[in-house]
Chain A
């Protein structure tokens, strides 16, 4: 009897120990894997705030890392050790204050906002190269920003509206050729859109939308639709018929049942494809470049390209600052809505 009790205790001890080792290994693995992902981003941010015209120094990066990395580890340890949310918040606040002070003391003198002058200076080229050069051609960054916003937002609006409506139809109505239509949607995914660049260029040219924002908007909409329709069909499949029939006997028309009862239940899907669609439009480079013949319109991706290459020569500080400015909206969108994005797989599997 006694022997049996001791056995249980040692088994329990061993599994607790194993769990701890596994946990430490997991944390270590994730940390190592995330370094190559996070470091470049962090570096870009550091460069954008520290680089002077011309060269890049990594000294600031290492100094900043030497303060931030221990701070992150310290918080990690604290988070594991302490359960109270209030204390965790206090610890986080203290660590942020300490590392801010540390950063100020070590690299504070090297930080400046000069690289972000493109945000307030409408004519950067003139400043850099004098009035005689590419003047007038290269826009203020906000023009490109708003154009990018227009392309991303309007194409997203189209994508979401069409994908939602057709996903619902495909999910609910049995019509001749439905399964071949669905297979067709999947086959379209096989072809890389860049293979279609020349025919798309010709079509856009013939219908007279070359050199207008309508070109990329339409093309981006069409390219994403097959996949998005498929995703939305999956989400609608997961909404039971009963609920719709119930709404109709409750006095709703089919459209009202869709609007009040079905649509709220595919909200996660709509948010997910909105975010994906928006980011796709925001970062698009190939088709916005292909569908213009001169500098008829500027979007953020072409702006960044010209900053990095043709117009400015290489000014790493400026390029990094534009990059940070360019990625901020997608990053914010992603951070706020990632909870909804993780649900995407569930809907997808059901489809």
Chain B
């Protein structure tokens, strides 16, 4: 259990930049998710923390001590790989006890600990089997047990749920969280699935192109995204981004313009409208229904409007509209977000006065 710090960490291979200027701190016992699209450097960050890669620049600290030069085997870090990386030549019990081979410990004590951890992840009945004889979910639990048995300073989970089927993923999500709370181990989860990140983590590090875009609680990431990237990556269905400009205290997009306050200077901006905050009303922006996607509990519509194609969500089991229906869309104006048109950064203070 440890406090983890990344201070200006970078990893480059020649001219290829994998990770650049990572700065963050993890509190002891915290559960943090690294969220980002494929190739954003999240797995590289994981391997940097595990010690498999050495940083090109910057410092990694465990409990305030620089560990850049510490070998993976001495960092006391547990990893669960996406492929689980179980050792096929060993039984489940031998897999779980493998990390204890390298610390001096009596065989009986090691077996006792293995049994305890197996009970914690509920695989105590499978100890004699080989990895090939286990289902995906069971393999996952074995990998988790193996990563946890030496009471690691840091538990790293590399897309641990992506090979499981949907139902199992749901139950493993809460299961992992339960085990993490029980053991109080500092944990980093790497994922490209925002639902996984927001449901499991205390805080989320959102990454893009090797850089941190935002570090925040799941709620803030959703409500106050720092950049257009975060806004469109977090939230499902994705946010509607409308390109426009601000002129004389009005947001202008195409032939439409809306009064707004808080910003006066002329600027190119993006307006962000969450689909779930757009609703059909008596008054509002005229639009024509173009797509209908029933999602079970909700229905996702797409509509052509003067602002372009907009998605909106209705909580209803049956579609209320059909193709070509004319509707009017309204939103809670305080929740409309504005982002800088050039660097994508959020513009604070700007708020829409009217949406119609």
Specify which chain A residues have a CB less than 8 angstroms from the CB of B86 in the assembled complex: 243
Q: Is the CB of A245 within 8 A of B83?
A: no
Q: Is the interface of A mostly helix, strand, loop or mixed?
A: helix
Cβ of A106 within 8 Å of any chain B Cβ, yes or no, is: no
**Which residue of chain A has its CB nearest to the CB of B150?**
A251
Once the chains are docked, how many angstroms separate the CA of A19 from the CA of B98? 51
How many pairs of residues, A versus B, come closer than 8 Å at their CB atoms? 67
Contact present for A251 and B83 (CB under 8 Å) = no
Encoded as 1 (CB less than 8 Å from any B CB) or 0, chain A from 222 to 245 comes to 000000000000000000101101
A159 and B99 alpha carbons, distance in the complex (Å): 32
Q: Is A247 in contact with B51, judged by CB distance below 8 angstroms?
A: no
The answer to whether B73 and A253 have CB atoms under 8 Å apart is yes
A249 touches B88 (CB 8 A): no
Task: Please report the total number of B residues contacting A with Cβ < 8 Å.
Answer: 28
Q: Which of B74-82, B187-195, B238-246, B324-332 contacts A (4 or more CB under 8 A)?
A: B74-82
Contact, CB under 8 Å: A256 / B72: no
Q: What per-residue 1/0 map shows which CB atoms of B41-81 lie under 8 Å from chain A?
A: 00000010011100000000000000000011111111101
A24→B193 CA distance, assembly (Å): 57
Interchain CB contact under 8 A, B52 and A245: yes
Q: How far is the CB of B327 from chain A (nearest CB, A)?
A: 51
In the complex, A246 has a CB within 8 A of chain B: yes
Query: Which residue of B75, B81, B88, B150 is within 8 Å of A246 (Cβ)?
Result: B81
B75 contacts A265, C-beta separation under 8 Å: no
Q: A242-B83, A246-B81 are in contact. Are A251 and B88 (CB under 8 A)?
A: no
What is the interface size of chain A, counting residues whose CB is below 8 A from a CB of the partner? 18
Q: In the complex, how many angstroms separate the beta carbon of B189 from the nearest chain A beta carbon?
A: 16
List B residues 16-48 near A (Cβ within 8 Å): 47
CB distance from B107 to the nearest CB of A (A): 16
Roughly how many angstroms separate A242 CA and B86 CA in the complex, as a whole number? 9
Q: A260–B99 Cα gap in the complex (Å)?
A: 12
The docked-state distance in angstroms from the alpha carbon of A260 to that of B97 is: 13
Q: Is B85 an interface residue (CB 8 A)?
A: yes
Interfacial chain A residues near B77, Cβ < 8 Å: 249
Residue contact A249 to B87, C-beta cutoff 8 Å: no
Is the beta-carbon distance between A240 and B87 smaller than 8 angstroms? no
Let me know if B81 and A251 touch, CB within 8 A: no
> Is A247 a contact partner of B50 (Cβ separation < 8 A)?
no
Given known contacts A240-B83, A249-B79, A261-B87, A256 and B50 CB-to-CB distance under 8 angstroms: no
Contact sample, A vs B, 20 pairs, CB 8 Å cutoff: A240-B85, A242-B82, A245-B50, A245-B52, A245-B85, A246-B79, A248-B71, A248-B72, A249-B73, A249-B78, A249-B79, A250-B73, A250-B98, A250-B150, A251-B73, A251-B76, A251-B150, A252-B98, A252-B101, A264-B87
Which 4 residue pairs across A and B have the least CB separation, nearest first? Answer: A251-B102, A242-B85, A264-B89, A246-B85
Known: A250-B73, A251-B76. 12 other contacts (CB 8 A): A242-B81, A245-B52, A246-B146, A247-B87, A248-B72, A249-B52, A249-B73, A251-B74, A252-B101, A252-B102, A260-B98, A265-B88
**Residues of chain A whose beta carbon lies under 8 Å from any beta carbon of chain B:** 240, 242-243, 245-253, 256, 260-261, 264-265, 267
